[in-house]
């Protein structure tokens, strides 16, 4: 008999946090689940930890891939999943105890919805909460309106119908670091989307993510995903079909402007700098802000320069005392 939901966690060198992520799934109020753990070529203790849980709990399925990246690792797990519903979780995040029950109940009651997210609590590498009740657009119309500027459903908060995932072809590695946005846009072409008001995940910002180093790639692939979606909506072929790597020249050839590229990097970099600052990663914050400043200055757009300056000042102000970011801390993307 198939479980109600399959939970997928890809892991690469995640020994520091993977136990907490696994435990948060196995202790769910909805117990009729399977947990697919994919070791994607780890070189630390992650494989041993995964094997330990696989031997201890019959609901745990262990898989291994040869450092293929998050997109292909998730695809491999979902291909092996048995449930009609699939929940995603990154190895350093923590699911709230009733996350699966809430989202499964919602999808049962809303057959037209194929993808549902939820609100977040932000934590640092020690588990310290530094932002609560980070809300996202709730309705299908609100989510679609947010797509041009952000990723309105976080991967770790997402539950989707497996048939929708299969229908659109799953994650695509071309859009690495924005593969969630690309998949959501393709699902949105056929189904409705939604977000729960309730917190479903503790989302971790920590020093080991290397997000600032991937910032430019995130920004470029995110812009590519949006350009691709526009082309499909207009009845044109996918402009990135047959392309191996998304870079600035490819985007310009597909109609992106220099201003669009600059804006994408600057907004993402400023957000990331603010998030890392609140998480206590001063070096990572400075690296992200430096990238944003450089691209803003090179663009010659005063509004972008001003945006980075305001976000940096805001980050410095918030780092001096407690506060709730709410909508100002909605994550665009997060790299692993």
Q: Which residues of 145-177 are buried (b: 16+ CB within 10 A; e: fewer)?
A: ebbeebbbbbbbbbbbbbebbeebebbbebbbb
170 φ/ψ sector (left φ>0, alpha ψ -120 to 50, else beta): left
Q: Are 307 and 296 in contact (CB under 8 A)?
A: yes
Which of 6-15, 64-73, 179-188, 268-277 has the least mean pLDDT? 268-277
Please give the average per-residue pLDDT across 312-332, as a whole number. Answer: 57
Backbone torsions φ then ψ of 204, nearest 5 degrees: -100, 130
The pLDDT value recorded for residue 325 is 41
Q: Which CATH number fits domain 5-204: 3.90.550.10, 3.40.50.20, 3.30.43.10, 3.30.420.40?
A: 3.90.550.10
Model confidence at 329: pLDDT above 80:
no
Q: What is the mean pLDDT of residues 117-121?
A: 96
The string of DSSP letters for 34-100 reads EEEEEEES--SSHHHHHHHHHHH-TTEEEEEESS--HHHHHHHHHHT--SSEEEE--TT-EE-TTHH
Taking the C-alpha atoms of residue 22 and residue 35, their distance in angstroms, rounded to an integer, is 8
In 3D space, the residue among 330, 79, 74 whose CA is nearest the CA of residue 195 turns out to be 330
* 121-162 pLDDT per residue, tens: 999 888 889 888 888 999 999 999 999 888 999 999 999 999
**Confidence band, pLDDT 50/70/90 cuts, at residue 319:** low
- Per-position DSSP letters for 175-232, written without gaps between them: GTTSHHHHHHHHHHTTSEEEEEEEEEEEEE--GGG-TGGGHHHHHHHHHHHHHHHHHH
Q: Between vectors from CA 223 to CA 217 and to CA 226, what angle results, nearest 5°?
A: 140
Cβ partners under 8 Å of residue 151, min gap 6:
178, 180, 181, 184, 222, 331, 332, 333
Q: Where are the domains of the chain?
A: 5-204, 211-321
Question: What average pLDDT does range 220-232 have in this prediction?
Answer: 93
The answer to whether 42 and 12 have CB atoms below 8 angstroms apart is: yes
* Cα–Cα distance for residue pair 58/48, rounded to 1 Å: 17
């Amino acid at each position: 008999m198939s479980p109600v939901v399959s939970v997928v966690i890809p892991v690469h060198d995640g020994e520091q946090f993977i136990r907490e992520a696994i435990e948060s799934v196995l202790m769910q109020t909805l117990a009729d689940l399977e947990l697919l753990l994919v070791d994607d070529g780890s070189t630390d203790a992650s494989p041993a930890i995964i094997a330990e849980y696989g031997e201890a709990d019959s609901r745990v399925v262990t898989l291994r891939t040869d450092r293929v990246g998050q997109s292909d690792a998730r695809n491999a797990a979902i291909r092996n999943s048995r449930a009609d519903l699939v929940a995603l979780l990154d190895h350093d995040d923590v699911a709230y105890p009733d996350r699966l029950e809430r989202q499964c109940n919602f999808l049962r009651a809303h057959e037209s919805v194929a993808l549902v997210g939820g609100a977040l609590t932000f934590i640092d590498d020690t588990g310290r909460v530094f932002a609560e009740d980070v809300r996202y657009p709730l309705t299908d119309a609100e989510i679609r309106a947010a797509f041009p500027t952000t990723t309105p459903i976080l991967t770790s908060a997402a539950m989707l119908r497996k048939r929708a995932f299969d229908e659109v072809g799953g994650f695509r590695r071309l859009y690495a670091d924005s593969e969630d946005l690309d998949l959501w846009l393709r699902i949105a072409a056929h189904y409705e989307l939604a977000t729960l008001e309730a917190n479903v995940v503790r989302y971790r910002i920590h020093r080991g993510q290397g997000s600032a180093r991937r910032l430019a790639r995130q920004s470029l692939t995110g812009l590519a995903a949006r350009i691709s979606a526009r082309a499909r909506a207009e009845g044109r072929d996918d402009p990135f079909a047959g392309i191996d790597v998304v870079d600035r020249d490819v985007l310009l050839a597909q109609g992106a402007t220099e201003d669009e590229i600059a804006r994408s990097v600057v907004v993402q970099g400023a957000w990331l700098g603010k998030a890392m600052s609140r998480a206590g990663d001063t070096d990572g914050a400075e690296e992200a802000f430096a990238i944003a400043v450089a691209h803003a200055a090179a663009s010659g757009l005063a509004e972008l320069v001003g945006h980075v300056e305001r976000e940096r000042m805001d980050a410095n102000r918030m780092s001096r005392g407690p506060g709730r970011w709410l909508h100002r801390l909605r994550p665009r993307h997060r790299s692993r």
